[in-house]
Structure 1
Amino acid sequence: MSLIRLNKFISNAGLCARREADQRIKSGDVTVNGAVVQQLGIKVPIDAVVTYKGIPLRPEKLKYILLNKPRGYVTTLQDPEGRKTVLHLISKPYCAQRIYPVGRLDYDTTGLLLLTNDGDLACKLSHPASKVKKLYHVVLNRAIQIEDLHAVQQGLLLEDGLVKVDQVSIVEADPTQISIAIHMGKNRIIRRIFSHLGYVVHQLDRVGYAHLTKQHIPRGKWIFLQDKEVFKLKNLV
């Protein structure tokens, strides 16, 4: 009989990541075949009846979607202001499988966004220690000064600590357009970098995420990741 760790069973059902699943198991809210289970690390049959607070959990087929986000969408599952979320761009059958965004892009920021129901991978990719590199194309309100470009290259001390980028350069000899690669996941980090130096970001587009690009994904459209692409992502974390 095929067995699976209980926390992985819960994660595969789209409820939460494995680490959080352990907390829910310890709380006594998880049952397996009618019996409360609070022991961590146990394995259960793949066809076991598992519930959380009385609600049956069913392992889902894991989905990995890469979206080219347009402006005007938020990357939360719901928005108290009533704005459209990125899930409005995904076909309903896949939304029903509880996919959710990995990390965030601002309302006015465009570009690559990964969505999945793989809670384990999402948690690892979103962790501050993650080394996943993100590449952005930035359009500024004015030409960047060479000393400011060097300051970004060397690292800036912002209100929440030192910010180091992986690479920064001017695009096609136009000093208002900047290419910047960074693996840090701090909130609004790209906009804050340039704001610190007195610039306003007019356009911000994430053009690369790890090894993934939006080259063949029109704005507002999405694709399923191939198995080999998912394998590469998992090997990064």
Structure 2
Amino acid sequence: MNGLIQREPGTRVVPGQDTVLLDGAVVMAKQDASCSYIMLHKPVHTVTTVNDPQGRKTVVDLLPEELRTQRLFPVGRLDYMSEGLLLLTNDGEVTLRLTHPSYEHAKKYEVLVREAVTEKSLNIMRQGMRLQEGERLAPVEVDTAPDANGATLMRMTLRQGVNRQIRRMCRDLGLTILRLRRVELGPLHLGSLEPGKWRALTDAEIQILKSSRGLG
């Protein structure tokens, strides 16, 4: 599991965070019709986890009790100061295919920065930049639009799962993030869902989501 041999029976596995392989093949949990799929607009000042040792509000705290008892896990992460579309589910196969590096999927963000963004900075992002820590990034789709308050809105599409990628990119390019919001995750769109609110995916959305991951 996660590159380490496990010999202890009863070792717990967290969907979306742990990867289990048997004879080199990824093991995926069998799911049934009881699986739940919840879209949440994660607000800022909320942690993307089931519980927090520091006692901060978690994304699960935003759900009603009947959903909390279903052992839903967030698919991927949004950091404490970021907001936007987050999927929570107890479907292990969907979780794996949306988070494992071997299954690339598009994630779209709206990033408001204080400064004007130069064409040079845009080209660096579009060509694939190297972070100051040494990590090489894949090319990012990005365009810009002026904001009414003099800031710049960047629309970015990422297909990598590098930790805090957008914040580290902007740091290296001298850009100050005012707001970072994820608006699309694979085929799912945030739409008009308000911060802190949630809704169940429709049957059509679930089918499209599974089909896009090769499960339908």
Instruction: State the TM-score, normalized to the length of structure 1.
Output: 0.73
Select the residue among 67, 71, 75 that pairs with 2:44: 71
Deviation of 1:226 after TM superposition, in Å, equals 1.5
- 2:212 aligned counterpart, secondary structure: coil
Q: Deviations over 1:184-230 (max 9, x none)?
A: 11110111111111222121000111122111311111111112212
Q: 1:120 aligns with which of 87, 93, 98?
A: 93
Superimposed CA distance per residue, residues 23-61 of structure 1 (whole angstroms, 9 cap, x where no aligned partner):
9xxxxxxxxxxxxxxxx9xx9xxxxxxxxxxxxxxx781
**Structure 1 residue 83: Cα displacement:** 0.3
Choose from 99, 102, 105 the match for 2:75.
Answer: 102
Aligned equivalents of 1:223 and 1:207: distance in 2?
A: 15
Q: Report the equivalent of 1:225.
A: 201
Which residue number corresponds to residue 136 of structure 2? 162
Are the counterparts in 1 of residues 43 and 196 from structure 2 also a CA contact under 8 Å? yes
Counterpart-to-counterpart distance in 1, 2:134 and 2:156: 20
Q: Does 1:129 align with 2:102?
A: yes
User: Which structure's CA Rg is the greater one?
Assistant: 1
8 Å Cα contact 2:110/2:182 also seen in 1: yes
Gapped runs of 5+ residues in structure 1? 1-13, 24-39, 44-58
Residues 151 and 63 of structure 1, relative CA distance in 2, 3 Å threshold: same
Which one-letter code corresponds to 2:182 in the other structure? R
TM-score, scaled to structure 2:
0.79
Alignment partner of 1:89 is 2:62: yes
Structure with the bigger RCO (C-alpha within 8 Å, sep 6+) is 2
- Which structure 2 segments of 5+ residues have no match? 1-11
Give the direction of change, closer, same or farther, for the CA distance of 1:165–1:111 in structure 2 (3 Å limit): farther
- 1:148-183, Cα deviation, whole Å (9 max, x unpaired): 111111110123532124410002576621110111
The count of aligned residue pairs is 192
Secondary structure (helix, strand or coil) at the match of 2:136 reads strand
Hey, what's the Cα distance between the residues in 2 that align with 1:208 and 1:133? 8
Q: Distance in 1 between matches of 2:184 and 2:108?
A: 5
Kept in 2, the 8 Å contact 1:69–1:220? The answer is yes
